[in-house]
Structure 1
Amino acid sequence: MGNDKIRLGIIYGGKSSEHEVSLRTALSIMKAVNADRYEVTPIYVQLDGSWVKGEAVAGQLPEKIDALRLMPGDKSIVSSDNGQEVIAASKPASLFGIGQQVDVIFPVVHGPNGEDGTIQGMLELANLPYVGTGVMASAVGMDKWMMKTVFAQTGLPQVKYVGLLRSQWEKNQDEVMDKIERELGYPCFVKPVNMGSSVGISKAKNRTELAHALALAAKFDRRLIVEEFVEARELEIGVLGNEELITSVVGEIKAAKEFYDYEAKYKGAGTELSIPAMIPEHVAEQISEVAKTAFQALDGSGLSRVDFFWDEKNDKLYINEVNTMPGFTPFSMYPMLFQAAGVSYSELIDRLVQLGIERHTDKQRNIVDAEELE
């Protein structure tokens, strides 16, 4: 393979309920990268947490998701340096060993143990450039409770919410539900704090449904959050950049179900997407500005999708959340929003890779030895 190609490692899979989502994202990226520019190394994190590395390839990328479920000893045909095809086997891997074989990492491990700053921290320790937000922004962006705390401190408009621990729910269920009814009322949304892709989220319309919703959310996390319901349109926008930011067009989610859940996000499920959203210009401008403010408040970098509620009747906008590693599946909003803004899928990947490299290069300017100041 030519030495002028960017050696791109894609980490996918992961020990979370979003494992399948991650595989879909990884496959989409692999099929979209320009083989003349990139040498791709697949790095699979199995459901048990073990890591497997496939051989680097510049062409003949996998066509089906099952091909991404690497196991040690899996055989694949790859292109050698002289252009010949050779058979190579996947093998167990560690991030620190991989560091010598790639120039930049694109981590697409969604949910806990991936999107929450854990993999980002390992990449920082390995001193590897990577796509997306850093440790703090990833962690805060994944933690809905902490994210809302940052939004409140920044003065961003958001719906009322109640945060609680699983232990509080288990010890005194009636007291917890009384508090929620008193402060939020019905209907309301119950969510695990540290989950993505709408996993474990329920809409509760009465006390019985609230009890079921809290019990479900408690299966996924020790920290829970309950949000008030507002009659509103669901709008989303993409943010791209490190310090100089651009935003995509605004898109709208019109879920066939009562809310945009996992099935709707990744399997279509009758959901209608409107890109661009049919909204007044002043609302689109406000969404763009608030999205950039939220991104900067988290110290975001690379990419994020920012979700909003717009109460059309009262012309009130509420920020819902920032997703620091949105999916790249055929049903994913982020790439479609930028496609509508004139940035193709392949170009988007190119920009994200360059932003990751630029961020890493900038960080190398930091003095780490105080004696250098003397």
Structure 2
Amino acid sequence: MKIKLFVLYGGKSVEHEISLRTAFTVLGSIDRDKFDVYPIYITQQEGAWCCSGMQEHARTTIEELVMEPEFTSATESMGSVLLRYVSGEGKKVALPLLHGSNGEDGTVQGLMELLDIPYVGNGVLSAALTLDKVVSKQLLSQAGIRQTDHISFLMEQWNEEGHSLLNRMEKSLGYPVYVKPATLGSSIGISRCEDRAALMQGIEHALRFDRKIVVECEVAGREIQVAVMGNERPLASLPGEFIHRHRFFDFESKYMDKELVMSIPAELPSYTMERIREYAIQAYRVLCCSGLARVDFFLDSDGEIYLNEINALPGFTGTSMYPVMWERTNGTAYSELIEKLIDYAFMRHADRLTVQYAR
């Protein structure tokens, strides 16, 4: 009997569009001989759940993935989808492809735990940790992993003591700096700032998307990425990097530039390559990850390695770095990679079932 695969995408998040791109590629690559596929679209404004049943064939355009909810209420729509499609008998697994808030942050993962449904990717704790740049930096720092110098603060702090914060940032970080929302990805809300006016503007821009802000000093050098997958015994891919002409690799650069070139493996000394892979696995374990993650590093001109961030749900289109790194590391094809991640989901769920809840 085929496995019921519930693919969640869209979501109440500023990264809604990225989720649609990921879902379009994934849904087009799933082996329908092995899985009964149920796409579940979550609207951007209300967070309403939509499902039209099992999808026998992949859609031909991204626009076809967008559905109209039967109920606009998130509660009613979620209950309807869960009762009508998810609660039935049979072996089942969820594949959350929700980038950013309300999906990549542990919320949907918690729902799957309550429903006792295996799901692909990181658990509640690791999803929350990895999405929050401030908390993850604190934990990685305690583990002795080198990172860029940074300062973080809340909206209330900025409103009450903005001038002193500016002085502190200029004294300890200098310019240029990067301003980032603490709990977003895809370079949304990020600004590169070379003076105080730009810094103030960048902070106000980032506060549109988050109440917690991170300001980091710039590391001049290369951006190196590593794909990691697995549960207790994670594996790290060969490192890769994008060759590009952009000073700041922002949202438009990542997703609109047709001239990006992947270099996999990245041209690195063997010693540096292995250190980066080791740091990637160490960070993966420190943040309690399982299933998959992409770990991003900076490499400066002196060969020093700085961990930038860890992404618990990296881009997963056919041209995203994560799947391509695995294909060039050990020949794992895109559809095979999805099935491996599903296997990890079942293994983690089986481990969880060994825990008893009564004495």
TM-score by length of 2: 0.94
Distance 1:270 1:180 in 2: 35
Q: How much does 1:22 deviate? A: 0.4
Distance 1:254 1:204 in 2: 23
Q: Which residue does the alignment assign to 1:227?
A: 216
1:253-287 Cα offsets, whole Å, 9 max, x none, are 23332222112222235433212111111111011
Distance 1:185 1:199 in 2: 23
- 2:310 partner letter: V
Distance 1:168 1:8 in 2: 44
**1:1-374 paired onto structure 2 within 5 Å:** 4-47=1-44, 48-57=46-55, 59-72=56-69, 92-94=77-79, 96-97=82-83, 98-101=85-88, 103-268=92-257, 270-311=259-300, 313-341=301-329, 342-370=331-359
Distance 2:244 2:217 in 1: 19
8 A contact 1:253–1:260 mirrored in 2 = no
Q: Secondary structure at the match of 2:281?
A: helix
Work out the percentage of aligned pairs sharing the same amino acid. Answer: 39
1:54-96 Cα offsets, whole Å, 9 max, x none, are 2113x322111111101146xxxxxxxxxxxxxxxxx944364
Structure 1: any 5+ residue segments left out of the alignment? 74-90
1:128-167 Cα offsets, whole Å, 9 max, x none, are 1000000010000000000000101111111111011112
8 A contact 1:265–1:332 mirrored in 2 = no
Q: How much does 1:367 deviate? A: 1.0
Q: How much does 1:358 deviate? A: 0.7
Distance 1:169 1:185 in 2: 18
Distance 1:210 1:358 in 2: 46
Distance 1:177 1:157 in 2: 24
8 A contact 1:133–1:301 mirrored in 2 = yes
- 1:331 partner letter: T
When structure 1 is superposed on structure 2, of 59-68 and 193-202 the one drifting more is 59-68
- 1:207 partner letter: R
8 A contact 2:105–2:128 mirrored in 1 = yes
Distance 2:118 2:333 in 1: 23
8 A contact 2:121–2:290 mirrored in 1 = yes
Q: How much does 1:171 deviate? A: 2.3
Q: Secondary structure at the match of 2:295?
A: strand
1:214-259 Cα offsets, whole Å, 9 max, x none, are 1111111110000111112000000011111111111112333222
Once superposed, what is the RMSD of the aligned Cα atoms?
A: 1.5
8 A contact 1:117–1:134 mirrored in 2 = yes
8 A contact 1:10–1:41 mirrored in 2 = yes
Q: Secondary structure at the match of 2:214?
A: strand
1:96-148 Cα offsets, whole Å, 9 max, x none, are 42432460000011001110111111111111100000001000000000000
- 2:241 partner letter: E
8 A contact 1:44–1:69 mirrored in 2 = yes
Distance 1:265 1:331 in 2: 11
- 1:49 partner letter: G
Structure 2: any 5+ residue segments left out of the alignment? 71-75
Distance 1:35 1:118 in 2: 28
Distance 2:100 2:244 in 1: 22
Distance 2:218 2:258 in 1: 22
Q: Secondary structure at the match of 2:223?
A: strand
Q: Secondary structure at the match of 1:250?
A: coil
8 A contact 1:305–1:324 mirrored in 2 = yes
Question: Runs of 4+ in structure 1 displaced over 4 angstroms?
Answer: none
